[in-house]
Amino acid sequence: MDPRLALTVRNTLQESAQASARAQEYLDSQAVPADVAYSVALVIEELVTNTVQYGYTDAAEHLIEVLVTLTADEIVLLIKDDGREFDPLQTPPPDLDLPVADRPIGGLGIHLVHKVCTRLSYERRDRENLVTVRFDRNPPAAGE
Domain residue limits, the chain: 4-136
pLDDT of residue 89: 87
Q: Which of 117, 144, 109, 121 is nearest to 35 (CA)?
A: 117
- The residues with which 119 forms a beta bridge, in sequence order, are 134
Could you tell me the pTM of the whole model?
0.87
What pLDDT, on a 0 to 100 scale, did the predictor assign at position 100? 58
Question: Each residue of 75-85: pLDDT tens digit?
Answer: 999 999 999 99
Least Cα distance to 36 among 121, 113, 116 occurs for 116
Where residue 143 falls (left for φ over 0; alpha for ψ -120 to 50; beta otherwise) is left
By the 8 A CB rule, do 71 and 64 touch? no
**CATH code at 4-136:** 3.30.565.10
| The pLDDT of residue 1 | 56
- Low-confidence spans in the chain with pLDDT less than 50: none
Predicted local confidence at residue 110, as pLDDT: 84
